[in-house]
Amino acid sequence: MKTLENKVAIVTGAGSGIGREVAIKYAAEGANVVVADIDEKGGNETVSLIRKNSGEATFIKSDSSKPSECQSLVEQTVKRYGGLQVACNNAGIGGPSAPTGEYPIDAWDKVISINLSGVFYGMRYQIPAMLKSNGGTIVNMASILGQVGFRNSTAYVSAKHGVIGLTQNAALEYASNNIRVNAVGPGFIMTLLLTKNMSDEAIKSLAGLHPIGRLGKPEEVAELVLWLSSSKASFVTGSYYTIDGGYLAQ
């Protein structure tokens, strides 16, 4: 039997990168997957990839920084598939590079609204639906920068630190309700979000920060998310798992 057979899952930011790989792996393990993203083209491409492999998926356009859209996403999911048991709150952005004393206020607000508030809004509506489904699992996408600093990334670092605290708090509150909540902390992963404005030299330099000698792959992160989302991780909640090629061991 597949590990997510007949489960209903939401993946935010699933139009590309890590989110897309998570959605694909969820579907391959039997889940009915709702692919959520503001990018309609990317989201529909993810759905097509899943269906080509005989999986079940639906795209719903949703902005994770807007509470009403997070609520609607859950409501539409439950209406279509009858419940909700799995969620991966993955949607996020990087933000501009600037020191704290010069960081643009509007950029701070945008990064926090998507990377931190968006995770809260997601759980705010996912958890009640999971309670009605007799439990579930949530995986929130943090970062290695949820544990350490990184110059000129003050909003991103702050948001990811917040995601870990938010994850731990929710895990404590709902452990007795059969809802597990965990966070994943990827190192630098080879995604368009990371590399679209970077030179080959800059990418090589960034890869060199990892003792393993390369950037991570989205599918490698998705494997960890899948495990945490399955019954194989049934005793795991309130945890923060890094997948970083040794970055934080230095």
Letter string b/e over residues 162-171, b meaning 16 or more CB atoms within 10 A of that residue's CB: bbbebbbebb
Q: Residue 196 pLDDT more than 90?
A: no
DSSP class of residue 103?
-
pLDDT of 82 above 80 = yes
Q: What is the pLDDT of residues 48-70, one digit of tens each?
A: 999 999 999 999 999 999 999 99
User: Cβ neighbours of residue 171 under 8 Å, at least 6 residues apart?
Assistant: 180, 181, 182, 237, 238, 239
pLDDT value at position 186?
A: 98
| Amino acid in the structure at residue 237 | T
Which among 150, 170, 249, 105 has a CA at the least distance from the CA of 158?
Answer: 150
Instruction: For each of the domains in the chain, give its residue range(s) and CATH number, in order of start.
Output: 8-240 (3.40.50.720)
Written as six digits, the tokens of 1 are 């039997």
CB-side neighbour CA atoms (13 Å) of 131:
11
Q: What are phi and psi of 221, to 5 degrees?
A: -65, -40
Measure Cα distances from 167 to 47, 74, 120, 149, 161 in Å: 28, 19, 9, 19, 10
Residues marked as catalytic: 156
- 19 Cβ neighbours under 8 A, 6+ residues apart: 11, 12, 13, 37, 46, 88, 90, 91
What's the confidence (pLDDT) of residue 245?
A: 98
pLDDT of residue 100: 98
Cα distance between residue 202 and residue 221, in whole Å: 22
Tell me the Ramachandran region of residue 120: left when phi exceeds 0, alpha when psi lies from -120 to 50, beta otherwise: alpha
Helices (H), 29-176: 40-52, 67-81, 105-112, 118-132, 154-174
Query: Is the pLDDT confidence value at 193 over 80?
Result: no
pLDDT tens, residue by residue, 116-141: 999 999 999 999 999 999 999 999 99
**Element of type H or E holding 206:** helix 200-207
Q: Which residues contact 197 (CB under 8 A, 6 or more apart)?
A: none
From the list 73, 92, 91, the residue with the least C-alpha distance to 9 is 73
Which tens digit of pLDDT belongs to each residue from 99-114? 999 999 999 999 999 9
Name the percent of the chain lying above pLDDT 70. 100
Between β-strands 179-186 and 240-243, what pairing exists: parallel, antiparallel or unpaired? parallel
**Mean pLDDT over each residue of the chain, to the nearest integer:** 97
For residue 134, the SS3 value is coil
